[in-house]
Every structure is written in C-alpha cells, then in structure tokens.
A = this chain, B = another copy of it.
Amino acid sequence: MQFSKSTGYALHALVYLAGANPGTNLGIRELAEFLGVSESYLSKVMSKLRQGGLVRSAPGVSGGYELAHPAGNITFRAVIEIVEGRQPLYECARFEEHRHSLFRKQGARGHAARECLVQSVMNGAEQELQAYLRAHTIQWVLDNARLSKHANTRG
C-alpha cells in the first residue's frame, strides 16, 4: 500500500514546472535530468499528466511541457488520481456472495438500504485521505519552500 514511483515523478515534475518561468516550455531532457530518471520513462508519466489535462505539451524545436493551469489549481489529489488511476482504496471481493449480515442496521425508515460496514470504514478513511490531498496544491509547496531562485530579499 504505497504510492508508485510514477506519482513521485509526477509531483516533482509539476513542482519543477511551476517553479519555471511561465511561458517557457521545459523539455523532457531537463526534467528527466533534474529528477534523475530516464527520459523514456518520465515521458510516459508526462503523457498521463497531459491526458489528464494538467500540462500542455508542444512537439518540435523548442517544444516541451508547461502547466495547463495555475499551480494553485493543481491539487495533489488530482495528480495522484491521474497517475494512479481512479481505484478505490478497498474493493469488496464479495466473499461467498454476501452470505453474511455485515450491513448497517436499517432504521425504521427503509432508506440507506444495505450499506456494507467494512466498506463504510474503508471508504470513510479514503475520504479523509482525499480531502487532505485536495487541500494541498503544487503552489502550496512553492509558497512554503525557500526557493533560491526567487531570492529571499531579507537575506
């Protein structure tokens, strides 16, 4: 139960892109060198990000990548969902085709029928996780970092 390395690559690449001058395209070469990963592999990750709408790409001379949105609009959650895919933290394996009774008590009213309790806990946990990830953006990292290129004028 761990995020893949691809997710790490994606996050770092986006932070790097966000730290670059807007309007400039960064090539896969520079990104890959900075991250210490092969261009071949990183290009796969970047393609995912492009398909997910987080970055734009341009082929040809002086082509490369740039953020498709302000860094403040790119949440960790979005990045992870694009790279890892949209899969729940836990999926019911339908043990013995539900010949059990681990469902929430049905109150007097019949609504909320047959909500599984194991799923309920796992989904609740996942909600907490995602809420936190949605609350943090690429920009947040830049804001809190001591970036040398932005120069700390206060010395």
By a beta-carbon cutoff of 8 Å, the part of chain A in contact with chain B is 1-5, 7-8, 11-12, 15, 34-37, 76, 80, 84, 87-93, 95-97, 100-106, 117-118, 121-122, 124-126, 128-129, 131-133, 136, 140-141, 144-148
Contact = CB atoms under 8 A, between A and B. Distances in A.
Nearest to A99: B34
A129 B104 CA distance: 22
A146 B105 contact: yes
A121 B76 contact: yes
A140 B8 CA distance: 35
Given A2-B88, A102-B141, 15 more contacts: A1-B1, A1-B89, A3-B122, A8-B92, A8-B95, A8-B118, A12-B95, A34-B100, A35-B95, A104-B144, A105-B144, A117-B140, A117-B144, A121-B140, A124-B132
A4 B1 contact: yes
Nearest to A102: B145
A88 B1 CA distance: 8
- Name the residue in A4, A11, A92 with the highest tally of chain B Cβ atoms < 10 Å from its Cβ: A11
A132 B125 contact: yes
A78 B22 CA distance: 46
A87 B145 contact: no
A91 to B, nearest CB: 7
A136 B93 CA distance: 21
